[in-house]
Amino acid sequence: MQSITSNQNKRVKEWRKMQSKKGRLASGQYLIEGWHIVNEAIKHGKQLKALIVTDATFLTQLSIDEGEVDTYLITPEVAKHISTTETPQGIFAVLETADYHESIPEKLGGSWLMLDNVQDPGNIGTMVRTADAAGMNGIVFGEGTVDIYNPKVVRSMQGSQFHIRLYTGNLNDWLTAFKKHNVPTYGTELNERALSYDEIASTKQFALIMGNEGNGVSKELLDKTDQNLYIPMNGEAESLNVAVATGILIFHFIK
Amino acid sequence: MQSITSNQNKRVKEWRKMQSKKGRLASGQYLIEGWHIVNEAIKHGKQLKALIVTDATFLTQLSIDEGEVDTYLITPEVAKHISTTETPQGIFAVLETADYHESIPEKLGGSWLMLDNVQDPGNIGTMVRTADAAGMNGIVFGEGTVDIYNPKVVRSMQGSQFHIRLYTGNLNDWLTAFKKHNVPTYGTELNERALSYDEIASTKQFALIMGNEGNGVSKELLDKTDQNLYIPMNGEAESLNVAVATGILIFHFIK
């Protein structure tokens, strides 16, 4: 176990750089932090490129073979430096960003969620967890949507990236591919020009696009879907939170 | 219009105290901030006890009669002092916390949401917005749930407290009252001991309890409901976000 006490250490600088998309693209790696998500990564057999702790005894509480992973003991100051939380738990791991699947699978089927320019990392993480809970096949992060490995997205996903496949891509291309494979595509609109969602029968095959918190799904994509849906609202609230709307729609579909 | 430049000003101290529940209980008032929510309060005819801006021209952009409300011009420093956001918009208003309805209405009917020990202000605000969007009749903040007028809850509700009636009370007493009025009561469990929610037909009369993010609804309340429900999950995520689960259940009920 290597001990690191300085924020100027070369490795610490590398880990810190993983907070930015540029840094993650350069290294092909990202940092996870906290007991729950590190345990989830180990449970799902992800290869840890490094395991970083503020207390050597932490290692005994993890189901890992110490010989197979590079381990580092850091000070609380270093933990604070590489963490994006205010009170780091003192346990981190480095993973490969291997889940940046950029090409569309040759066979497409089942249920899919597409994110068009969604901005709030907390919303994105909650949407990924919801799709995961529903047992969906995959999620596509469209251009303009916050990066999959943004530290706040990673924290909010709570390990769902180990359960459900996450893709990055052009949603126009994905829509074309879904059509080719006869997967019905649905956009969501905030107004009643669309069809009420509960007029669609539950189904195992669908691709649903959720949009930006303020502006919804882009017109270009709405024009290309098989059908656009809205959620009827009897009350006065102007809109539902996008993650709540996602839950209502997905769980209606899979029912 | 009174000008205030010091954080030591008596009124500024009063406004700042409204950040704490103790301060709100003592004054019977709370502070709202930001254009959207101040406009919502005015639109819904709420009497502003004070209107506080960092720029006098802001007043011309509001639909208010300046003679009917005490207005204050403050500096950006004072705004920062009384705000709970990092980048205040420079517009605040003081309202009465008149919506702390603590007694159970004599006539009870329609659809209700009860919050048992819910802790995250963002979740609470999102749940209130969801119940508002669904056109529900009221929400009861049970003991242990974060205060209705907690600044983060207020921000997250986005003005829904002007549309839907919010109560504070003992959920046991409320359950008794719903039973007396023949309103079916439902608890939610994170496991399959309960009934799958989609076995319940949609209905206009129901009282739904949502629980703490980690521990769910307390056993004492679950023992007292007519029926407890769960949301079947096919995937690997351990749980849904409580606000997402609330949306799925409520929109199933009201469909």
Residue A120: CB atoms within 10 Å: 18
Residue A212 pairs with which residues in a beta bridge?
Answer: A216
**C-beta of residue A98 within 8 angstroms of C-beta of residue A130:** no
Q: Where in chain B are all domains bearing CATH 3.30.1330.30?
A: 2-96
Q: Is 2.10.25.10 the CATH number for B2-96?
A: no
pLDDT class of B100 with cuts at 50, 70, 90: low
| CA-based torsion, A196, A201, A202, A206: positive or negative | negative
Contacts B129 to A, Cβ<8 Å: 237, 240-241, 244
Instruction: List Cβ neighbours of A67 (8 Å cut-off, separation of 6 or more).
Output: none
- Cβ separation A235–B131 shorter than 8 A: yes
Query: Among A113, A139, A221, which Cα is nearest to A176's?
Result: A221
Segments in chain B forming alpha helices (H)? 10-17, 21-27, 35-43, 76-82, 121-133, 151-157, 171-180, 219-222, 242-253
Q: Where in chain B are all domains bearing CATH 3.40.1280.10?
A: 111-253
Instruction: List Cβ neighbours of A72 (8 Å cut-off, separation of 6 or more).
Output: A1, A2, A3, A4, A11, A50, A51, A52, A53
pLDDT class of A245 with cuts at 50, 70, 90: very high
Query: Among A133, A134, A254, A251, which Cα is nearest to A202's?
Result: A254
> Does A122 touch chain B if contact means CB atoms closer than 8 Å?
yes
Phi, psi of B69 (to 5 degrees): -140, 140
Query: Among A108, A80, A245, A228, which Cα is nearest to A167's?
Result: A108
Q: Which two tokens stand for residue A138?
A: 């995959």
| CA-based torsion, B164, B168, B171, B175: positive or negative | negative
> Does A246 touch chain B if contact means CB atoms closer than 8 Å?
yes
Sheet hosting strand B91-96, strand order edge to edge: B2-4, B71-74, B50-53, B91-96, B29-33
> Does A116 touch chain B if contact means CB atoms closer than 8 Å?
no
> Does A34 touch chain B if contact means CB atoms closer than 8 Å?
no
Q: What is the per-residue pLDDT for B108? A: 94
Q: What is the per-residue pLDDT for B141? A: 96
Which residue of B236, B239, B246, B255 is the best one to mutate when testing the A interface, meaning the one whose CB has the most A CBs within 10 A?
Answer: B236
**C-beta of residue B107 within 8 angstroms of C-beta of residue B143:** no
Give the CATH number of domain B111-253. Answer: 3.40.1280.10
- Cβ separation A243–B240 shorter than 8 A: no
pLDDT surpasses 80 at B192: no
In the block, which residue shows the tokens 């990673």?
A154
Query: Among B104, B101, B106, B74, which Cα is nearest to B6's?
Result: B74
- Cβ separation B236–A126 shorter than 8 A: no
Q: Which of A131, A163, A244 is nearest residue B130 as measured by Cβ atoms? A: A244
DSSP string, B143-205: TTSPPTT-HHHHHHHTTGGGTSEEEEE-HHHHHHHHHHTT--EEEE-SSTTSEEGGGSPP-S-
| Distance of alpha carbon A122 from alpha carbon A130, whole angstroms | 12
Minimal-distance CA residue of chain B relative to A231: B251
| pLDDT 10s digits, A198-215 | 999 999 999 999 999 989
For residue A179, the distance in angstroms to the closest alpha carbon of chain B comes to 25
pLDDT surpasses 70 at A100: no
- Cβ separation A135–B234 shorter than 8 A: yes
| pLDDT 10s digits, A43-97 | 999 999 999 999 999 999 998 887 889 999 999 999 999 999 989 999 999 999 8
pLDDT surpasses 80 at A181: yes
| pLDDT 10s digits, A109-159 | 999 999 999 999 999 999 999 999 999 999 999 988 999 999 999 999 999
